[in-house]
Structure 1
Amino acid sequence: MASSTSLPPTMKAAVKELGRPGLEIKTVPTPEVLPGTVICKILANYIGKAALGRFRAGDGPVLLTHPSPMVPGGYTIGRVAATSPDTTKLQVGQLVLLEPFIRGRDDSDVQILWGAFEGPSPASKKLAADVWRNGTMADYARAPLENTWALDEARLCGSPADGGLGYAIPELVALPIFTVPFGGLRSVDLKAGETVVVSPATGHFSLAAVAIATAMGARVVAVSRNADGLKRLQEMFPLVVPTGDVAQDTGAIIAAAGGYVDVFAEISPPAAVGSTHIESCMSAVRQYGRICLMGGRMDPKVPISMLELVFKNITIRGSYMYEREHVKGLIKLAESGALKLGKAAGMPVLGEFPLENFEAGLDMVEKHSALDGFVAIV
């Protein structure tokens, strides 16, 4: 039986149209609950550096096409406002994490990023346009049941005196970002006690990878061309700034790690085209080591030494997003207290802005680096 709070007939939403810069706040109908979905009251959306181009430019990056018009957003914390008859566990009023990796229910190879990317195939584009056109930059959002995850609010937000972790809800909105590197590190079976080199280590997803690897009990070596950014991590991790000399940089990584590393987690942005750090980090991987490629580097080819891979029995794994079991595991890691959030993870909330004032939030993101933190649209 469906259950709901009293929902207003209309709501405010940030609407994105291709060819037009920025987002426009509009009054639109509040979505109705359908089988296989819940309606969530949106409490906080994550806005980081990578979102600026998508939100402010007339068109998004070439690879991240989406239907138009659309409501962006998908890295979100909300509260269940209405449930469908086939909901079996979620309750109205429950605090939930919403994440954007939507798969076709009859074909899991059909994949979209809710509120950001319609996918490459005709089937994925149809799924995005016909069903999941609108994301979470709104007062309410209709979300797939399988992308809506219950959170232990008492544990995460409760007072430490009562056994809680004391997080404010906007701090929790970084949790969906952690799912991406967690999925990658789990895909190469990173173990407690192992050493992982993360490169680059000064972006939103790579900072999350550093925090996740630490929570998993691994030792981190941070590599980045952003020397100023790395200085902020120097009290916590061994650091390497690549020089462009592959042999020299490989030696520096091995020296910083105290030996060859077990895992290389690569999370390069498109701007890293031509950088030699991938070669250096790969060469620092030990016999039977693993490499996880998670980045969006746009090189048509990446130099890899075939002989080195063969002679060292190295496994290379590409990792796009994550599996459902990874989201479950991530939430457990956060609720246990092992995974730190907010300032403790080096990812503080720079500011909180209402939907109507999201432009001020984007201004703040633009003035800061990923290492400074992120903005919550609340």
Structure 2
Amino acid sequence: MKTSNKTLVPALQVHGCGEAPQITVDVIPLPSCGSLEVMVAPRAAALHFADVLMMRGEYQVRPTLPFIPGMEAAGLVIKVGDKVTHVREGDRVLAMTPYGAMAGAVVVPETHVAKIPDSMAFSVAATFGIAYFTAYAALRFRAHIRAGEIVLVTGARGGVGRAAAQLAKAMGARVVAVSRDVESVRRELCECVDDVVEADSETVVEEVRRVTGGRGADVVVDVVGGRLLGRLVRATAWEGRLVIVGFAAGTPEALKPGHLLVKNISVAGLQSTDYWTRHPASLQAALVDLLALVDIGALSVPEPREFPLDEVDTAVHALEEASDRNVVILIERGQGGE
């Protein structure tokens, strides 16, 4: 496959942070590529709430200005370091990075790149890595899921929640979703969700117990937080494991130690990006496993909404208006696939 020999590439650059960040589409030189690095020419880059917060100067990562946003992308490998062996020029890949993906070229460590199936469109692959790796880390690394267990997932219409529900089912679990939109979850996730419970803090405990025959959930993956989290502890089975992934509904209630003690419940936190730097081999192995599941049809990633590079403001608005939808920025206008 023919690869690019361009020396200048387009890039979305943030020159000033704030509620209305100063953003321009510029032309920049190709970055350099080290011996254990891979240069990718993205065709599409995901837009996440973390990217929006970073552009506004409200995220924990604050790059030096100007910077290029974008934490994940998919495209073609255009250069590899001399010690890289698992990908080569011309490969179709996804790539993950703290920022820098919304450009015509991005350089990442070799462990942050994985080949995608031929059937996987670049736009879809661009939204895959972070959500599905986070779900994988929650279930495998923190909860140590076992086949036959009951897994409860909150926020199942969002990226990580949807991924956790699909993965838990692929790993042999029975899946219970807790959602404010019961009918939408039943309709959209019918292939991987066995039961859906209303996300009502007053009734959720009894409803989870009802659909699990009084057992409760062996594993809880919570991305919501707020008042719901404390109630979910009471809906957890004996020797259950609760993994806290996020606080979409705000700061969670304090957990009561007595509830944890009487049922031997374990509580774990997850900051999935720590694995990128602390244990990158785990990231690479997980991506290989996850993409193999995509290849056999065990995981189904929703089609994202696509926006050209020079319409990032419109894309941000679309993301904020429909938080359950994936949004991608197309690096080359009109190129969402090949």
TM-score by length of 1: 0.75
C-alpha separation in 2, matches of 1:296 and 1:284: 18
Residue-pair matches, total: 311
Letter of the 2:186 partner, please give it: Q
C-alpha separation in 1, matches of 2:138 and 2:45: 23
2:287 aligned residue: 327
SS of 2:206's partner is helix
Contact 1:214 1:220 in 2 (8 A): yes
1:348/1:6 CA distance change after superposition, 3 Å: closer
- Residue 199 of structure 2 is aligned with which of 239, 242, 252? 242
Contact 2:151 2:219 in 1 (8 A): yes
- Residue 84 of structure 2 is aligned with which of 82, 87, 110? 87
* Deviation of 1:264 (Å): 0.6
* Deviation of 1:292 (Å): 1.0
1:34/1:140 CA distance change after superposition, 3 Å: same
Letter of the 1:174 partner, please give it: T
- Residue 261 of structure 2 is aligned with which of 282, 285, 310? 310
SS of 2:185's partner is coil
1:256 aligns with 2:211: yes
2:183 aligned residue: 231
* Deviation of 1:257 (Å): 3.1
* Deviation of 1:77 (Å): 0.9
Kindly report the root-mean-square deviation, in angstroms, between the aligned alpha carbons of the 2 structures: 2.5
2:122 aligned residue: 169
SS of 1:16's partner is strand
1:340/1:298 CA distance change after superposition, 3 Å: closer
1:213/1:251 CA distance change after superposition, 3 Å: same
Structure 2 unmatched ranges of 5 or more: 276-281, 332-338
Letter of the 2:140 partner, please give it: R
- Residue 281 of structure 1 is aligned with which of 204, 221, 232? 232
1:98 aligns with 2:98: no
1:244/1:291 CA distance change after superposition, 3 Å: closer
Percent identity, aligned pairs only?
23
TM-score by length of 2: 0.83
Output one character per residue of 1:107-166: Cα deviation in whole Å (capped at 9) or x when no partner.
xxxxxxx11xxxxxxxxxxxxxxxxxxx1100111111121112342xxx1xxxxxxxxx
C-alpha separation in 1, matches of 2:148 and 2:254: 29
SS of 1:234's partner is helix
C-alpha separation in 2, matches of 1:30 and 1:12: 10
Contact 2:156 2:185 in 1 (8 A): no
1:53/1:74 CA distance change after superposition, 3 Å: closer
Output one character per residue of 1:322-347: Cα deviation in whole Å (capped at 9) or x when no partner.
53232232222222321122xxxxx2
1:209 aligns with 2:164: yes
Output one character per residue of 1:183-208: Cα deviation in whole Å (capped at 9) or x when no partner.
11112122232211112333322222
1:142 aligns with 2:107: yes
* Deviation of 1:27 (Å): 1.3
Runs of 4+ in 1 over 6 A off after TM superposition: 297-301
1:243/1:360 CA distance change after superposition, 3 Å: closer
Structure 1 unmatched ranges of 5 or more: 101-113, 116-134, 158-166, 342-346
Letter of the 2:158 partner, please give it: G
C-alpha separation in 1, matches of 2:200 and 2:86: 53
C-alpha separation in 2, matches of 1:223 and 1:367: 22
* Deviation of 1:297 (Å): 6.2
C-alpha separation in 1, matches of 2:14 and 2:46: 17
* Deviation of 1:220 (Å): 1.8
1:360 aligns with 2:317: no
* Deviation of 1:282 (Å): 1.1
Output one character per residue of 1:345-367: Cα deviation in whole Å (capped at 9) or x when no partner.
xx2222x2232333333343333
Contact 1:52 1:366 in 2 (8 A): no
C-alpha separation in 2, matches of 1:90 and 1:331: 15
Letter of the 1:209 partner, please give it: A
Between 1:289-298 and 1:10-19, the stretch displaced more is: 289-298
2:243 aligned residue: 292
* Deviation of 1:175 (Å): 1.7
1:262/1:287 CA distance change after superposition, 3 Å: same
1:178 aligned residue: 132
2:334 aligned residue: none
SS of 2:208's partner is helix
SS of 1:304's partner is coil
1:45 aligned residue: 45
C-alpha separation in 2, matches of 1:289 and 1:92: 46
Letter of the 1:264 partner, please give it: V
1:239/1:50 CA distance change after superposition, 3 Å: farther
